[in-house]
């Protein structure tokens, strides 16, 4: 019987070696491992064997069973690797190619520099635990002004020339407008969560303004807000400095000035040394050598209350980053109108076709 078992295993390995598909191997497996397989057949002879023989046959049969199992698995693994290799050979990926596909493939698009920088800033804030929120372009005067501590007769409304909609008011009975800033999302964000929280909200904003080298009617902001217990100006400065260091990959010279915005108290203007003229004075920095990049401040209690937050218990900071200015500083662009000018010579420098 020992000889029969050896033969059985030899037959098995011979058969296995001729197989080249996984399904054939699986068939062979059920043939040999199944209840009616040759191993069971051989073991039927056990009843006629001497006790001495039985003692040897038991372990031998087990060994063969195990070998068959592991041979099958090894074969299946080998076939899988071969299949992967065959696929790779048909469709090779050359990891040594260094050519820029954007240059070689003229139909290829590229990210607009605003989108690219927005994604970069989002990544920085995501890594610091901020959520990313969105809000509507068509807003109402409650979210754009009133809730931000700018009542109807407040002169601060004149700081932002607004595109108003004529015609029906929005559901709330408030007048509709194109949002003049992303601060509207502060209100939406506060109303939809419980403190502590921190989020950013990037997006387009609209102002009915005369355009020049540093003003456009449509531009981009990225709002940020952090609300919790005992949030301080030091927290605000820490996040702003981290952001600027990550974006410019160097310590940029900054200065903090008092700034007035009705929705913060105290409010600040965070300026950076103009990177276009290196502080010498140019049209972008209006010859001052400094560029206003990051207006910010501690959230006014009225604003917290408008957002449904107990201002005795919680406080927070907010900021409104100008993404267009950031792009201009990063790439040395001296006129904001290039950014949406749709001039292909400009766009091509950022990979657009």
Q: Given the rule CB under 6 A, which residues bind ligand DAH?
A: 181, 183, 223, 261, 264, 267, 295-297, 318-320
Return the half-sphere exposure (C-beta side, CA atoms, 13 A cut-off) of residue 274: 19
- Residue closer to ligand DAH by CB (options 177, 296) is 296
- Residue closer to ligand DAH by CB (options 7, 255) is 255
Match 């001052």 to its residue by tokens: 288
- Residue closer to ligand DAH by CB (options 208, 344) is 208
Is the bond preceding 196 in cis, omega lying within 30 degrees of 0? yes
Task: Provide the 3-class DSSP secondary structure of residue 288.
Answer: coil
Task: Judge contact between 57 and 5, C-beta under 8 A.
Answer: yes
**Alpha-carbon gap, residue 29 to 249, rounded angstroms:** 60
Look up residue 135 and give its DSSP letter: -
Residue nearest to ligand DAH (CB): 320
CB of 112 to ligand DAH, least distance (A): 21
- Residue closer to ligand DAH by CB (options 12, 261) is 261
- 218 CB neighbour count, 10 Å cutoff: 15
Report in angstroms the alpha-carbon separations of 73 from 25, 26, 264: 9, 10, 68
CB of 223 to ligand DAH, least distance (A): 6
Task: Judge contact between 265 and 248, C-beta under 8 A.
Answer: no
- Residue closer to ligand DAH by CB (options 113, 316) is 316
CB of 192 to ligand DAH, least distance (A): 17
- Residue closer to ligand DAH by CB (options 202, 320) is 320
Could you give the angle at which helices 22-33 and 51-90 cross, rounded to 10 degrees? 170
**Alpha-carbon gap, residue 275 to 153, rounded angstroms:** 39
- Residue closer to ligand DAH by CB (options 148, 339) is 148
On the 0-12 / 13-18 / 19+ scale of CB atoms within 10 A, 301 is: middle
CB of 333 to ligand DAH, least distance (A): 20
């Amino acid at each position: 019987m020992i000889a029969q078992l050896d033969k059985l295993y030899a037959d098995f390995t011979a058969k296995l070696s001729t197989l080249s598909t996984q399904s054939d191997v699986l068939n062979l497996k059920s043939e040999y491992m199944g209840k009616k397989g040759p191993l069971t057949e051989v073991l039927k002879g056990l009843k006629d064997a001497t006790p001495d023989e039985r003692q040897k046959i038991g372990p031998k049969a087990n060994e063969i069973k195990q070998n068959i199992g592991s041979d099958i698995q090894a074969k299946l693994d080998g076939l899988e690797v071969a299949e992967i290799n065959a696929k790779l050979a048909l469709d090779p990926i050359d990891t040594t190619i260094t050519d820029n596909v954007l240059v070689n493939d003229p139909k290829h698009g590229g990210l607009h520099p605003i989108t690219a920088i927005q994604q970069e800033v989002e990544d920085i804030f995501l890594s610091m635990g901020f959520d990313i929120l969105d809000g509507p372009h068509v807003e109402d005067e409650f979210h754009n002004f009133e809730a931000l501590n700018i009542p109807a007769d407040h002169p601060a409304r004149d700081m932002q020339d607004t595109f108003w909609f004529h015609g029906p008011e929005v559901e709330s009975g408030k007048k509709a407008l194109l949002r003049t800033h992303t601060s509207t999302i502060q209100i939406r964000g506060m109303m939809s969560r419980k403190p502590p929280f921190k989020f950013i909200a990037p997006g387009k904003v609209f102002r009915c303004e005369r355009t020049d080298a540093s003003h456009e009617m449509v531009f981009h902001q990225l709002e940020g807000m952090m609300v919790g217990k005992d949030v301080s100006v030091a927290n605000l400065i820490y996040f702003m400095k981290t952001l600027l260091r990550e974006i410019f990959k160097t310590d940029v010279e900054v200065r903090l000035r008092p700034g007035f915005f009705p929705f913060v108290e105290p409010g600040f203007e965070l300026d950076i040394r103009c990177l276009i003229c290196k502080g010498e004075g140019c049209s972008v920095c209006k010859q001052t050598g400094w560029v206003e990049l990051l207006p910010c401040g501690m959230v006014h209690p009225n604003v917290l209350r408008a957002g449904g937050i107990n201002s005795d218990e919680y406080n927070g900071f907010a900021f409104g980053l100008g993404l267009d200015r950031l792009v201009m500083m990063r790439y040395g662009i001296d006129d904001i109108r290039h950014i949406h000018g749709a001039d292909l010579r400009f766009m091509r420098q950022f990979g657009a076709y």
